[in-house]
Structure 1
Amino acid sequence: MENMTMTSHVDTCFDCAKACEECATACIEAGDTDSKGHDMTACIKLCRDCADICTLCGRLTARGSQFMKSFMAVCAEACEACAAECEKHASHFAHCKACAEACRKCAEECRQMAA
């Protein structure tokens, strides 16, 4: 794997983790439900899981771990689940929209890199 591609992927993973952390924090600060009464618990949980998984994926990629490619598949799965949940709230929360976009980008890259 080309070094520049790996560096870019590491950045994508960490950018996604950051978006997930920001989304989870904003959801927690807003309370357990959004303005339309939707329960935000699933969003918070998925964002927290996704942030941890993306961080580990980025770290494994940065060190060229023998496990990075198989872990990228797990990362893509987590990102897709998080994006799907955040998209439910994207029309009324900018942080959910940003998180969904970062997760979709990371999932796509992980799938390409793992292939």
Structure 2
Amino acid sequence: MMMNEMMGDRMRSMQGMDMDMMQRCMETLTAAEQACVMCADGDAEAGMAMCASMCMNCADVSSAMMRMMLRPSGFEMQSMMAMMQATMTMMTACAEECEKHADMHEHCKLCAQACRTAAEAMDDMMASMRAAMSMG
């Protein structure tokens, strides 16, 4: 079952939101969180403390962002956009750190890709949100 089907009418309260885009964000955040946790574990084995710490921070931020998206009754456009921007910043920083090691470690390559994909999805979502705000 698709996330937007499960959330049903509860999400309808978020005026002007593209539910397919919201679902894509949540799916990419989940994928990034998982990739970051796996990368941090691999980094710890390889003695790469900075990369491991960045990945764990990114996993935590991803999880928090997704949980905010799952609470439509507490949705407030400006705070959601600020959190999305912070998450995108963390995703970008994590991707940049992992890309330094991507040639040597597959887990870093996969983590960087997942972070970039999630940041793109959130950037698209923010553009949609801005458009909805300008119409409202």
Which runs of at least 4 in structure 1 moved beyond 6 Å after TM superposition?
none
- State the TM-score, normalizing by the size of structure 1: 0.87
Query: Percent same amino acid among aligned pairs?
Result: 37
Q: Which has more helix, going by share of residues?
A: 2
Map residues 1-115 of structure 1 onto 2, 5 A cutoff: 1-30=17-46, 32=47, 40-64=48-72, 65-66=75-76, 67-115=79-127
Range 102-111 or range 89-98, more displaced: 102-111
Q: TM-score, normalised by structure 2?
A: 0.74
Amino acid aligned to 1:110 = M
The runs of 5 or more residues in structure 1 that have no matched partner are: 33-39
Match of 1:37 in 2: none
Report which of the two structures shows the higher radius of gyration computed on alpha carbons.
Answer: 2
Residues paired across the two proteins, number: 107
Secondary structure of the equivalent of 1:86? Answer: helix
Q: Is the 8 A contact 2:102 2:108 kept in 1?
A: yes
User: In the TM superposition, what whole-angstrom CA distance separates every residue of 1:3-52 from its partner, at most 9, and x where no partner exists?
Assistant: 2221221111111000000000111123x1xxxxxxx1110111010000
